[in-house]
Amino acid sequence: MVKEKVKTKKTKSAASAARKKAVAKKRTLVIVESPAKAATIEKYLGASYTVKASMGHLIDLPKSRMGVNTEKDFEPEYITVRGRAKLLKDLQTEAKKATAVLLASDNDREGEAIAYHLNNAIQAKNEGLPISRIVFNEITPAAIKEAVAHPDEIDGAKVNAQKARRVLDRLVGYSLSPLLWKKVKSGLSAGRVQSCALKIICDREKEVEVFVPEEYWTLGGEFAKTKTAKKGFAAELVTYQGKKPELKKENDVKEIVEELKEAAFTCADVRETEKSLKPRPPFTTSQLQQTAANRLGFTSKKTMQIAQILYEGVNIGKGRVGLITYMRTDSVRISAQALAEAREWIGKEFPADLPEKPNVYAVGKTAQDAHEAIRPTYIKYTPESIQKYLSRDEFRLYSIIWERFVASQMKNAKTATLTADIAGGEAVFRVSGTRVVEPGFYKVLKLLAAKEEKGAAFPAVKKGDDLFALSMKGQQHFTQGPARYTDASIIKTLEEKGIGRPSTYAPTISVLLDRYYVTRKEKQLVPTILGRKINDMLVEHFPDVVNAEFTAGLEEKLDAVEGQAVAWPRMIADFYRPFKSRVDEVGKTLESYKGTLDEPTDEKCEKCGRPMVKKLGRFGYFLACTGFPECRNAKSIPLAKCPKCGGDIVARKQKGRGKEFYGCASYPECDFLTHFKPLPDQNCPKCGWFLVEKHDKHRGSYKACINPACDYLHSAEASAEGEGA
């Protein structure tokens, strides 16, 4: 009996080993881009599939040289990316164990190029091994199994479009960067899209600097039905003597208030207007980045990082699930299946708000329409139902994606606005209030809720009511200049001008920040001195490279390559030949900027007595000793004159957090300080103190005199910080 049991055990063990061996022989290797995606997909496919990650590009152009043969149809020189040889070898080894390979990199130009290079590298070591391409828009069991069931070939047109973009960007970057090193400063770089974006930001900064705010006033009144009422409702003066009032000074307000002292007021008119508000379409990449910036305060880079996590898969208790579709898209199109699921869910949860026919949104003229809009993969996973599995930021981003998509397939919302005109003497004051009549798609909006949904109170007045003015008060304002770009507004501008594509918006901003050509200030993008110097040079000598229309035209030509309407070497040649001639000419004729960047000063080094020079560093100008490297003394440049003692105002930092502020260099003898940075060479024409730039939610960025007793560009009540502040 014992022997038989042992024999049976051996037989079972042998059978199990045989089965495992058989499965191993039948195994298919799937290669994706990221480990997170690999973990999600492997669970969907089962034991007969092995899923590995390439971690992005394994083969690319070399970093140390141009890597493009400009004499032979711009043929790129591809090499294994430094530090990635072992990973590539491991994938080639895994392929040897497989009966087939499925390349499942992202369904875009970069993903197609990754698949193309992997195919060539694996074939070189495994000749004859079947290798196919699979694509999907969402990481769900159904989508993955459908893709595996219908493998295809690598899209050569997409590969060529990526190759053309890569070569074009390499030619521009590796031609201009050495020129910048030679003429401006070592370690600099320039790029095709980033240089165009930098110009847009610099142009706006010039508009901000030259703008001079103008003072104006508004007049508000508090009205009630009785003279003794403790509280009334507010209304604003809209017409005086039959026209819109021009209140430029406080005296203009006082004159009207004086005229209206004995005036009798009545409700002259009450009217109601209804408005139908359509839901917005599902998110494209740029719209997601803009909305996340405006509503959640996310940078574009942070938005894409979190979206990547949601796309690749999150463990929600039942296993890893890809929660959203592919997050790089310029289309608002959605699949028939997703549309059916959305309508089914709305029909159950909000049946009265399900339109008879699906809402259809037009795809933009410049959209490639390669992918669906960004949407949740499963409507049933409402944000609240999976909140405990998500981080705070993941939950918030997923919420706005889910809300936007579901709302897009619901009925319009309707609002009613009541407006009352209060007439007295030669003046008309106006008050308005809005209420929601039919919520429609508002019912699913929480993080995306609009002001209209919340409504505004309307006073209980009707036409013909006699009213009394409890008080009248003027309010000082200043006209606002053009706003600096934020992540949201620069992405919107780049998209509108046709510069870059969904995959390039966030990286473009990141590059400008990383190279310190631009900094963030109150969420606004501000060009640095270094960025402006580079922009000035490029604008003067390479206007085409930074021209928005020209850059957008190149994007269209790249699209034409993918559409097989033009051969990519010809497209590159048309651009490169004149560009290269210009680079060579500028390299010979342009005087070096280097001599102009280091400016002599009258300052003496307090350590060694030698002269100090004004140098441009990565973080702006500073004073450095000419005795470098023997003497390494360096210090901040004075930004303004101290209004308290006449000394120099310099940038200083607090201990601990290291927050920057601006104070007198004579501290502790002089304790003047402010948290607002002095504007260069801008003093108040009224009192002579320096001007600063301030920022608040209501006014945005604006200029103000630092003197709390001076009313130049700000009211006395909202004075800037001054002495000892």
Q: Which residues are catalytic?
A: 326
Q: Which amino acid is at 719?
A: S
CB half-sphere exposure, 323, CA atoms < 13 A: 29
DSSP three-state, residue 300: helix
Distance, in Å, from the CA atom of 399 to the CA atom of 402, rounded to the nearest integer, reads 5
Which positions ≥6 away from 296 have C-beta within 8 Å?
393, 396, 397, 400, 447
Q: Which two tokens stand for residue 211?
A: 């703008």
Distance, in Å, from the CA atom of 244 to the CA atom of 94, rounded to the nearest integer, reads 77
DSSP three-state, residue 50: strand
Choose among 509, 562, 153: nearest CA to 369. 562
Distance, in Å, from the CA atom of 725 to the CA atom of 713, rounded to the nearest integer, reads 19
Distance, in Å, from the CA atom of 92 to the CA atom of 655, rounded to the nearest integer, reads 53
How large is the C-alpha radius of gyration of the chain?
33
Q: Which two tokens stand for residue 315?
A: 């463990």
Which positions ≥6 away from 699 have C-beta within 8 Å?
478, 480
Distance, in Å, from the CA atom of 573 to the CA atom of 324, rounded to the nearest integer, reads 40
- C-beta of residue 331 within 8 angstroms of C-beta of residue 284: yes
Which positions ≥6 away from 603 have C-beta within 8 Å?
611, 612, 623
Measure the CA angle with vertex 600, ends 599 and 603; round to 5°: 125
From the CB of residue 150, how many other CB atoms can be counted at a distance below 10 Å? Answer: 10
- C-beta of residue 434 within 8 angstroms of C-beta of residue 455: yes
DSSP three-state, residue 522: coil
Phi-psi domain of 347 (left: phi exceeds 0; alpha: psi -120 through 50; beta: other): alpha
The sheet with strand 690-696 has its strands ordered as 678-683, 690-696, 700-705
Burial profile 677-709: b = 16 or more Cβ within 10 angstroms, e = fewer: bbbeeebbeeeebbbbbbeeeeebbbbbbbbbe
**Burial (0-12, 13-18, 19+ Cβ within 10 Å), 47:** exposed
Choose among 448, 419, 402: nearest CA to 290. 448
Phi-psi domain of 219 (left: phi exceeds 0; alpha: psi -120 through 50; beta: other): beta
List Cα–Cα distances, 110 to 161, 494, 504, in angstroms. 9, 20, 11
Q: Which amino acid is at 426?
A: E
DSSP state of 376: B
List Cα–Cα distances, 194 to 5, 191, 482, in angstroms. 73, 5, 22
List Cα–Cα distances, 293 to 195, 288, 394, 486, in angstroms. 23, 8, 14, 8
Choose among 227, 217, 715: nearest CA to 471. 227
Which positions ≥6 away from 445 have C-beta within 8 Å?
403, 407, 453
